[in-house]
């Protein structure tokens, strides 16, 4: 792996870099792990989704972007748009660090649509000459022509009483007031939420104080990417706490991302949980989820996340000069005190031709003949056999990427340990979920270097990256009397070079 100097890492993109990036993209484009229907980095590294919103008749989404290679360097914002959350178009660079306040990166933030303007709140990651970090919460505005203008004056300055870790503003409106929910670390090195308010978006921001979450006073050393959504009459608090201890099958990733359902008491600055903290995803690669500012689905939230995690490596693509995907957008609904997560309804459009179909265990159609398509969508219904096994991207005597369910243990397992390319193995290569209500359905989205498994129409989701080699091209399916359909996937993202 190339060693990056500080100078190379903290390089802001210039018009004159176009040719260099075009060449990088030319090689990246040939990689077998570029996706067919996931938002992927144009070049370099992608991490968190930012500014997700429905504005001016389209979905807008930005991602944290370092243009020059598969490493965490100077963060820019890259812009993509969609009419339907399925087909995505590369729009190019949205923001680059050019102010003193964001000299070492335009870090994560959110979008709020008001009239003809999409407001984008983000963290200016300033570092001084001694390389000490000073966070500023900044604002940019996008107009209806897509022109983005950054404000020069911070909305919120560095807060006393907290460490340098203050970031990822969630800008939202409630009862005619504006709020910013910020992730931070206090001087005792605990993760906290800070809540600010103002009557205007562009100025007048005041700290209300810490938002207390009853029962979660000591929950990790930092909170990143907070988000808060009202769904029906409940509130959903989503966040990425760092430093949770592993607990059996829970919290096994380096950093975790979860939610609590509850009530929001703005007067007493308190979030009152009505559910436990649950992981949004029980797979191996998921972080920094963000919900869209939108009014298309009033009683639901639309969410996407980074299909990765801080400090993870994906060596095979990192070396090819790129890293990172966003997960499929999901629809979140609350039923009782449970969150249901399904692919957005529009994801049905991703189903192409039926490649394989088994009804009650008998094969009705099969054009795959044991060969694994590099991307596809699979759905399995009501298995009543003792166990179900799917071995994707396998080869003789190797399990490949394994998804299996044991009816007696009521346990679903995802296991990538038998694939050629191993990575981040210090966090294990398998994940287990106990299905209290048994297995009713699996909907699986396979896209060249990723697998997302939706269990029982939204009860759990497990997502994992994987990088199959050419010879890992077989599929095996086991289980009696199962109904299984495999569709080819419709290509909905173009790998075109737009910067
Ligand atoms: C989460 C995160 C954010 C930060 C951004 C920088 O992955 O660390 O807290 O704003 O990434 O890229």
Q: Give one DSSP letter per residue of 234-249, joined into a string.
A: EEEEEEEEE-PPPBTT
Ligand 1 and 182: CB distance under 6 A? no
Candidates 362, 321, 334; CA nearest to 236 is: 334
Report the predicted TM-score, pTM, of the whole model to 2 decimal places.
0.98
What one-character DSSP code corresponds to residue 410?
T
Residue nearest to ligand 1 atom 9, measured at CA: 224
3-state helix, strand, coil in the chain (%, to 5): 5, 50, 40
Q: Answer for the pair 280, 304: CB distance below 8 angstroms, yes or no.
A: no
Q: Report pLDDT for 1.
A: 77
What one-character DSSP code corresponds to residue 21?
H
Q: Report pLDDT for 76.
A: 98
Ligand 1 and 107: CB distance under 6 A? yes
155/399 Cα distance (integer angstroms)? 53
372/112 Cα distance (integer angstroms)? 42
User: How much distance in Å is there from the Cα of 59 to the middle of ligand 1?
Assistant: 22
Best substitution site from 71, 185, 225 to test ligand 1's pocket, by max atoms within 8 Å of Cβ? 225
- Give the pairing of strands 441-447 and 411-418: unpaired
Residue 438 Ramachandran class (φ > 0 left, ψ -120 to 50 alpha, else beta): left
Is 114 exposed, middle or buried, given 0-12, 13-18 or 19+ CB atoms closer than 10 A?
middle
Ligand 1 and 167: CB distance under 6 A? yes
Candidates 455, 442, 441, 446; CA nearest to 489 is: 446
Q: Report pLDDT for 383.
A: 83
C-alpha R_g of the chain: 22
Three-state DSSP at 52 gives strand
User: How much distance in Å is there from the Cα of 239 to the middle of ligand 1?
Assistant: 12
Ligand 1 and 106: CB distance under 6 A? no
- Give the pairing of strands 58-66 and 76-82: antiparallel
Residue 310 phi, psi (nearest 5): -55, 135
Q: Please give the full DSSP string across 330-349, using - where no structure is assigned.
A: EEEEEETTEEEEEE-GGGGG
Q: Report pLDDT for 387.
A: 82
User: How much distance in Å is there from the Cα of 146 to the middle of ligand 1?
Assistant: 24
Catalytically annotated residue among 17, 36, 48, 227: 48
User: How much distance in Å is there from the Cα of 97 to the middle of ligand 1?
Assistant: 15
344/291 Cα distance (integer angstroms)? 12
Q: Is 48 tagged catalytic?
A: yes
Closest ligand 1 atom, CA of 225? 9
CB atoms within 10 A of CB 433: 22
Ligand 1 and 40: CB distance under 6 A? no
Sign of the torsion angle spanned by Cα atoms 319, 320, 322, 328? negative
189/194 Cα distance (integer angstroms)? 14
Q: Answer for the pair 314, 423: CB distance below 8 angstroms, yes or no.
A: yes
Both tokens assigned to 259: 């939610």
Q: Report pLDDT for 382.
A: 82
Sign of the torsion angle spanned by Cα atoms 370, 40, 109, 427? positive
Q: Report pLDDT for 481.
A: 85
Sign of the torsion angle spanned by Cα atoms 187, 189, 190, 193? positive
Q: Report pLDDT for 88.
A: 98
Q: Report pLDDT for 90.
A: 98
Neighbouring-strand partners of residue 185: 191
Contacts of 94 (CB under 8 A, 6+ apart): 51, 62, 76, 77, 78, 79, 142, 148
Residue 423 phi, psi (nearest 5): -160, 150
Contacts of 291 (CB under 8 A, 6+ apart): 52, 227, 229, 238, 301, 302, 303, 332
Q: Answer for the pair 235, 263: CB distance below 8 angstroms, yes or no.
A: yes
Residue 246 phi, psi (nearest 5): -60, 140
127/454 Cα distance (integer angstroms)? 41
Q: Report pLDDT for 132.
A: 98
Q: Answer for the pair 419, 401: CB distance below 8 angstroms, yes or no.
A: yes
User: How much distance in Å is there from the Cα of 153 to the middle of ligand 1?
Assistant: 22
pLDDT in tens, 90-103: 999 999 999 999 99
pLDDT along the chain (499 residues), means of 10: 94 97 98 98 98 98 98 98 98 98 98 98 98 98 98 98 98 98 98 98 98 96 98 97 98 98 98 98 98 97 98 95 98 96 98 96 94 98 84 97 95 98 98 95 98 97 98 94 95 97
What one-character DSSP code corresponds to residue 25?
H
Q: Answer for the pair 325, 307: CB distance below 8 angstroms, yes or no.
A: yes
Q: Report pLDDT for 304.
A: 98
Ligand 1 and 123: CB distance under 6 A? yes
């Amino acid at each position: 792996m190339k060693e990056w100097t500080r100078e190379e890492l903290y390089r802001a993109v210039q018009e004159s870099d176009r040719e260099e990036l075009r060449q990088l993209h030319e090689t990246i484009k040939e990689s077998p792990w570029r996706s067919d229907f996931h938002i992927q980095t144009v070049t370099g590294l992608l991490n968190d989704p930012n500014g997700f919103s429905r504005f001016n008749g389209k979905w807008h989404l930005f991602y944290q972007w370092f243009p020059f290679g598969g490493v965490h360097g100077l963060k820019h914002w890259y812009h993509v748009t969609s009419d339907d959350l399925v087909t995505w178009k590369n729009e190019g660079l949205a923001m680059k660090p050019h102010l003193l306040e964001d000299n070492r990166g335009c870090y994560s933030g959110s979008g709020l649509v008001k009239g003809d303007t999409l407001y984008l709140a983000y963290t200016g990651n300033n570092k001084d000459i001694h390389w000490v970090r000073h966070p500023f919460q900044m604002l940019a505005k996008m107009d209806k022509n897509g022109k983005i203008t950054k404000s020069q004056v911070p909305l919120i300055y560095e807060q006393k009483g907290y460490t340098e870790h203050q970031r990822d503003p969630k800008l939202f409106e409630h009862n005619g007031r504006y709020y910013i929910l910020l992730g931070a670390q206090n001087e005792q090195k605990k993760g906290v939420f800070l809540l600010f308010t103002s009557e205007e978006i562009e100025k007048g921001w005041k700290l209300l104080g810490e938002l207390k979450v009853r029962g979660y006073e000591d929950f990790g050393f930092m909170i990143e990417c907070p988000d808060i959504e009202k769904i029906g009459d409940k509130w959903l608090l989503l966040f990425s706490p760092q430093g949770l201890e592993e607990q059996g099958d829970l919290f096994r990733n380096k950093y975790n991302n979860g939610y609590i359902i509850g009530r929001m008491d703005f007067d007493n600055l308190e979030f009152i949980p009505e559910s436990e903290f649950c992981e949004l995803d029980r797979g191996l690669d998921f972080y920094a989820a963000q919900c869209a500012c939108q009014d298309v689905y009033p009683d639901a939230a639309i969410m996407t996340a980074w299909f990765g995690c801080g400090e993870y490596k994906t060596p095979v693509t990192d070396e090819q000069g790129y890293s990172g995907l966003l997960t499929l957008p999901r629809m979140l609904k609350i039923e009782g005190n449970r969150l249901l997560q399904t692919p957005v309804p529009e994801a049905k459009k991703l189903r192409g031709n039926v490649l394989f179909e088994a009804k009650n265990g008998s094969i009705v159609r099969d054009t795959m003949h044991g060969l694994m398509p590099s991307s596809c969508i699979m759905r399995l219904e009501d298995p009543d056999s003792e166990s179900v096994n799917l071995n994707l991207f396998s080869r003789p005597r190797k399990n490949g990427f394994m998804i299996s369910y044991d009816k007696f243990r009521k346990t679903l397992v995802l296991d990538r340990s038998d694939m050629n390319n191993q990575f981040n193995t210090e966090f294990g290569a398998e994940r287990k979920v106990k299905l209290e209500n048994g297995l009713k359905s699996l909907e699986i989205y396979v896209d060249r270097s990723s697998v997302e498994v939706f269990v029982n129409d939204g009860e759990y989701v497990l997502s994992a990256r994987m990088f199959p080699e050419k010879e890992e091209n077989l599929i095996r399916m086991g289980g009696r009397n199962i109904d299984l359909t495999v569709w080819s996937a419709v290509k909905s993202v173009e790998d075109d070079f737009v910067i």
